[in-house]
Chains A and B, each alone.
Chain A
Amino acid sequence: MQKLWTLIRTEFVLDFRDRFTVGSLLLYASVTAFITLIALQEPETEVWNVLYWILLSFSAVISGLNMYVREAGDHRLYYYQLAKPEEIYLAKWIAQLLMISFLSIVLYGVMAALSHSPVILSWKFALVLLLGSVSLSSVLCFTAAISALSQGPAVLLSILSFPLLIPVLLLLQYTSGVTMDVYLDDQYWQYVMYLLAISLICTAAGLFLINFVWRN
């Protein structure tokens, strides 16, 4: 537990020490929101909803690209001696989760400032944002590890993660649609359960496989 906490803190210190990582992500999120809203200006509620999740998933994929940058080459060996791969994976997952929830709030702020936001601020919407970062990070954490270790082109992460992200995005869009009165709200808790289940499956599969992937 102590080790996990140290790892998470290390992730954050390193992320914020070179301002490039966080800064580039924030810039990416704001600029993509700006570009799409130039064209749409005042999108309808459904469009706003879908747009928000698509932009967030794009930013999350970009953040996944930076995730394992430091573990390239000899650093991985060094890490491997210090901590178990499962612990590193869990630390990465939590750091990624916090990063995406930070991104989701910033992206919401930018989009709400640039266009009329249909979001009714409530704890239900906050829960959707949290679930969004949990589920996006649980899918991305593993695919980012694979694409980083393959040392292939950067586009590999998008190819690997987008098919897996589609069901998550579909569920998120339905769930947040409920909080914006686009869909009937009798299925809210059902969607929440499915999102939790998908996150659980992905995290469990990731934890099971990461030891095998990390060994090299």
Chain B
Amino acid sequence: MWWKALCVVLLTYVHIAGLVVPLKPGVFGVVSKSCSAGENCEVDVQLYACHFRDSEQIDVWLKFDTLYYLQASDVALSGSNLLKVDFDLPGYLPTDEEAFTPALIVSAEKTGAFVIPSAISISQSDIDEFKGKKLWSESGVPSFDVKKGFLYPYRNLLMETLRNLYFHVPMWFAMMALFGVSAFYSLMVVRNESWQHDDKIVAYNTVGLVLGTLGLVTGMIWAQNTWGRFWSWDIKQTTSAITLFMYIAFFFLRTGVRDDIQKYRLSSAYNLFCFAMLIPLLFVIPRMMDSLHPGNGGNPAFAQDDLDNIMRLVFYPAVIGFILLGLWISQLIIRIKAVKTRRESSIL
């Protein structure tokens, strides 16, 4: 079957590309003493995935707004991913506040330019915005080029856990697809009393439940690394756990009913009722409350421009691949069940 081959190809591609492709270089952290205007400021910049060598030309800039730049007077490499940077700060800052926090840009030919916002804090005692603006715009606006190539974006906090997008999120998509298919068959049962679909409903719900549980577990492991806890009562965590409870209850209902036809009847009806509740549960309630998930409430997001085109190249195949995998496993379960029933009837 062509779609099984497609599933294997897509998932192989997703596992290789998702785990092997490196992140873009980025700034991991900045360590500095408190600096004030007119003094020399020493900054340690910890880099991620840069691997500089001694001979390379590295420029470091402080950036404020889009117009005001200050180039570092001295950049020294003290490890392949550690820079010691000196800034000769002018006497005035381009702001009328007592302190400001410019962004820091590192630029080199090999790695391209990358930025960390609000890197260091600089204070001033004499405030003169006009002089400050003049001093900070002397160097003009430098041009930076961002590195192109098949690399994932570097995001603070998320870092390498960004790859979870290719496994955690597609599992939820696949779960929804499988529950949708089982709801469709339940609808067939309800309309035509076609009981032969019952095995399909059970198979799709089983695989959907397994994929949902895996989605929850991968999410919890990811949350431990980024939010610091396995479970933080995030609204999406809560609603997805409720979803799993609902479908576990579906299987409990089936064990509770003796009569077969009654079992098919009631479990199909409950399955459809649960699916109707999934819509407010997964698509409405999570949108009305703050969530820690990327893309909600000012957290680093994958939405819109944040999910960059290179990640899309892996994410969409992952979604299709996991849905196909779920359908495939369900089909195997249905066929095993069919073979078993046939054997039992032939023995009798």
Contacts and interface: CB of A to CB of B under 8 A. Distances in A.
A194 B280 contact: yes
A153 interface: yes
A209 B262 contact: no
B315 to A, nearest CB: 28
Interface residues of chain B: helix, strand, loop or mixed (majority): helix
A164 B273 CA distance: 9
A201 B268 CA distance: 17
B262 A216 contact: yes
A146 B252 contact: no
Given A194-B284, A198-B280, A212-B190, A159 B269 contact: no
A153 B255 CA distance: 11
B273 A142 contact: yes
A213 B242 contact: no
B281 interface: yes
Contacts of B256: 150, 152-153, 156
Nearest to A201: B276
Given A156-B252, A171-B285, A162 B245 contact: yes
Contact of A163 (B242, B285, B288): B242
A24 interface: no
Given A146-B266, A153-B256, A170-B285, A163 B245 contact: yes
B276 A202 contact: yes
B265 A213 contact: yes
B277 interface: yes
B249 interface: yes
Given A166-B242, A209-B190, A201 B252 contact: no
Contact of A205 (B258, B272, B285): B272
Chain A CB within 10 Å, residue with most, of B246, B248, B256, B288: B256
Contacts of A209: 190, 269, 272-273
B288 A187 contact: yes
A110 interface: no
B111 to A, nearest CB: 46
Interface residues of A, number: 35
B265 A151 contact: no
A197 interface: yes
Contacts of A170: 238, 285
A201 to B, nearest CB: 5
Contact of B269 (A146, A191, A194): A146
Contact of A206 (B242, B273, B285): B273
A72 to B, nearest CB: 13
Nearest to B263: A150
A164 B281 CA distance: 9
A104 B226 CA distance: 42
Contacts of A21: none
B49 interface: no
Contact of A164 (B238, B239, B246, B268): B246
B274 interface: yes
A167 B280 contact: yes
B270 interface: yes
A151 B285 contact: no
Chain A CB within 10 Å, residue with most, of B269, B272, B285: B269
Interface in B227-284: 238-239, 242, 245-246, 248-249, 252-253, 256-258, 262-263, 265-266, 268-270, 272-274, 276-277, 279-281, 284
A153 to B, nearest CB: 6
B231 to A, nearest CB: 15
B12 to A, nearest CB: 36
Interface in A105-157: 142-143, 146-147, 149-153, 156
Interface of B: 190, 238-239, 242, 245-246, 248-249, 252-253, 256-258, 262-263, 265-266, 268-270, 272-274, 276-277, 279-281, 284-285, 288
29 contacts: A143-B270, A146-B266, A146-B269, A151-B258, A152-B253, A159-B253, A160-B252, A163-B242, A163-B245, A163-B248, A163-B249, A164-B273, A164-B277, A167-B285, A194-B280, A194-B284, A194-B285, A201-B276, A201-B277, A201-B280, A202-B277, A205-B272, A205-B273, A205-B276, A209-B269, A209-B273, A212-B190, A213-B265, A213-B269
Given A160-B249, A194-B285, 20 more contacts: A143-B270, A143-B273, A146-B266, A150-B262, A156-B252, A160-B252, A162-B245, A163-B242, A164-B274, A166-B245, A170-B285, A194-B280, A194-B288, A201-B276, A201-B277, A202-B276, A204-B276, A209-B269, A212-B190, A216-B265
Closest 3 CB pairs of A and B: A152-B256, A163-B245, A205-B276
